[in-house]
């Protein structure tokens, strides 16, 4: 971006990326030509993730997806990224290509969380996990603190969150049966408190879920078990709720729900409370229909000024006035791509324009690279050898020197000093166990395969196999990563 900004801003961005403080006396440049003062709409369709300028109706496909339904995707959502002054796009995919079997080739199905910067043309993996049971994550929601989603199937749904204020932050399990109730993530309150709107799978009751404290609070609106998803305006005063039929409704909302604090004795967030604490009374205004003739909207998003509402409905993006009478036609309709099922609307982007959007290559190369990195050695890939094959996996932060990067043989002394992460053979590949076990950023993984073969060691990362502290590589510190793995 340096060619279109002044030296002062370039210094600010360089300082921000290295964790420093901008110097006093710097100032922001004037808005660029064609600045997106009304925000930018992101959408998900059959072709992939794209962005749409609501002022001109022009769109750009940012992250293409392979044809034929190879990946099942959800999102996108606008959310912050460390070191950037503007929001970027987050979306998930599930590898839906034919899975490998004992006697046939195929893929190990993985769930992926990706971050795409439409103004730099970059895409990077945030996290990945092997998923042989479900159809991938859904209910992707975000605010300035957390990104939350739901994974799982068959009433065994798990709600997870990623802390967006930290680089390469591991997923935090917010609710997981049987210890906690199964929850669907349905929306997010604006602001840094990070409250997530969730709906109980069993009872259909709605709550605020506080990811920081790990507790449930009452939800201020009386919503039904089939309602959702919802979108909350940037000022936290209006909620748009997608109904099973009769289109979305708009209600006033109070997002200042009571926020419980984590127990000082535990030092860690507790599980969501079985019984919610007392909350604020629900607003008294009656719900107001946007267009009661519409079917269920797959996604909703407010304009920055809350005067318009974007819907992913009927396979396209439709924009409605938030104050129009029920049944009024949409202000605009955008069939930007086939079968649009996701939509989100950014805040004002005064330093960016649609002309500055740069498409990336999409996620497939990154997905396939992990499949290549986790292949079993040929000598270990047989019915006779697989029961004898052992996989040892370690995680380390490659922005720092780590002895883990040099492990070649998992001796008893090595295993005692550096306990490995759980991993197991899955037919012709191996896979790390646990949800979101693999992280992006500067995190790298050392793997040693032995038992049926001579110990074979390698190092890989989700986005790159090169260490962040390698010569010529600018490291991105990962404050949550450790030099030795955790069990």
Q: pLDDT of 201-223, one tens digit each?
A: 989 999 999 998 888 999 999 99
Residue 91 has pLDDT above 70, yes or no: yes
The answer on pLDDT for 345 being more than 80 is: yes
> Tens of pLDDT along 264-305?
333 334 444 444 443 444 445 678 999 999 999 999 999 999
**% of the chain exceeding 70 in pLDDT:** 84
pLDDT category, 172, cuts 50, 70, 90?
A: very high
The proportion of the chain whose per-residue pLDDT surpasses 90, expressed as a percent, equals 72
95-134 pLDDT, tens digit per residue, is: 999 999 988 999 999 999 999 999 999 999 999 999 988 9
Query: Strands, E, within 284-421: which ranges?
Result: 288-289, 299-302, 308-313, 316-321, 332-334, 342-345, 349-353, 390-397
Whether residue 140 contacts residue 90, with contact meaning beta carbons closer than 8 Å, is answered with yes
| Predicted local distance difference test score (pLDDT) of residue 287 | 86
Average pLDDT, the chain: 86
Q: Report the pLDDT value the prediction gives residue 33, as an integer from 0 to 100.
A: 84
pLDDT of 269 reads 40
Checking DSSP bridges between strand 183-188 and strand 196-200, what pairing results, if any?
Answer: antiparallel
Residue 332's pLDDT is what?
A: 93
pLDDT at residue 477 above 70? no
Residue 151 to residue 453: CA distance in whole angstroms: 35
How does pLDDT run across 347-359, given as a tens digit for each residue? Answer: 999 999 999 999 9
Q: What is the pLDDT of residue 257?
A: 56
Total count of residues recorded for the chain: 487
Choice between 333 and 265, residue whose per-residue pLDDT is larger? 333
Between 427 and 3, whose confidence is greater? 427
Residue 442 in tokens: 């500067």
User: CA 114, CA 117: separation in Å to the nearest integer?
Assistant: 10
Q: What is the pLDDT of residue 26?
A: 42
Which has more confidence, 43 or 254? 43
What is the C-alpha radius of gyration for the chain, rounded to an integer number of angstroms?
Answer: 23
pLDDT, tens digit (0-9, with 9 covering 90-100), for 236-249: 999 999 999 888 99
Which pTM was predicted?
0.86
Q: What is the pLDDT of residue 31?
A: 63
């Amino acid at each position: 971006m340096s060619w279109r900004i002044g030296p002062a801003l370039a210094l600010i961005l360089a300082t921000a990326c290295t964790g420093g403080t901008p110097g006093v006396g710097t100032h922001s440049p004037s808005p660029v030509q064609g600045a997106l003062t009304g925000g930018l709409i992101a959408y998900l369709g059959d072709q992939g993730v794209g962005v749409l300028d609501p002022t001109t109706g022009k769109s750009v496909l940012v992250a293409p997806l392979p044809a034929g339904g190879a990946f099942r995707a959800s999102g996108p959502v606008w959310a912050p990224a460390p070191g950037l002054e503007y929001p970027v796009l987050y979306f998930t995919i599930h590898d839906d290509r034919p899975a490998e079997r004992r006697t046939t080739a195929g893929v190990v199905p993985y769930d992926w969380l990706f971050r795409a910067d439409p103004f730099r043309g970059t895409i990077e993996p945030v996290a990945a996990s092997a998923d042989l049971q479900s159809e991938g994550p859904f209910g992707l929601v975000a605010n300035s603190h957390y990104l939350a989603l739901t994974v799982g199937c068959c009433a065994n749904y798990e709600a997870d969150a990623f802390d967006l204020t930290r680089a390469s932050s591991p997923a935090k399990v917010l609710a997981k049966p049987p210890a906690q109730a199964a929850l669907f993530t349905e929306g997010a309150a604006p602001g840094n408190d990070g409250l997530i709107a969730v709906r109980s799978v069993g009872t259909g009751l709605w709550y605020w879920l506080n990811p920081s404290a790990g507790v449930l609070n009452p939800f201020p609106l009386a919503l039904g078990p089939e309602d959702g998803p919802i979108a909350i305006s940037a000022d936290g005063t209006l909620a748009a709720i997608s109904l099973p039929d009769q289109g979305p409704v708009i209600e006033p909302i109070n997002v200042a729900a009571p926020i419980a604090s984590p127990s000082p004795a535990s030092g860690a967030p507790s599980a969501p409370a079985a019984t919610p604490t007392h909350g604020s009374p629900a607003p008294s205004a009656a719900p107001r229909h946007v267009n009661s003739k519409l079917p269920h909207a797959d996604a909703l998003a407010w304009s920055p000024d809350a005067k318009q509402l974007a819907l992913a409905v009927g396979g396209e993006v439709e924009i409605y006035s938030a104050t129009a009478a029920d049944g009024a036609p949409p202000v605009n309709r955008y069939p930007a791509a086939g079968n649009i099922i996701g939509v989100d609307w950014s805040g004002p982007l005064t330093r960016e324009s649609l002309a500055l959007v740069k498409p990336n290559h999409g996620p497939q190369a990154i997905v396939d690279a992990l499949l290549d990195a986790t292949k079993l050695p040929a000598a270990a890939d047989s019915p006779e050898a697989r029961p004898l094959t052992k996989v040892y996996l370690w995680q380390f932060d490659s922005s720092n020197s780590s002895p883990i990067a040099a492990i070649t043989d998992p001796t008893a002394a090595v295993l005692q000093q550096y306990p490995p992460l759980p991993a197991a053979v899955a037919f012709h590949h191996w896979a790390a166990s646990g949800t979101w076990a693999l992280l992006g950023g500067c995190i790298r993984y050392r793997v040693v395969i032995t038992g049926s073969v001579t110990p074979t060691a390698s190092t890989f990362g989700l986005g790159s196999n090169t260490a962040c502290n390698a010569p010529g590589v600018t490291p991105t510190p990962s404050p949550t990563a450790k030099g030795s793995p955790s069990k």
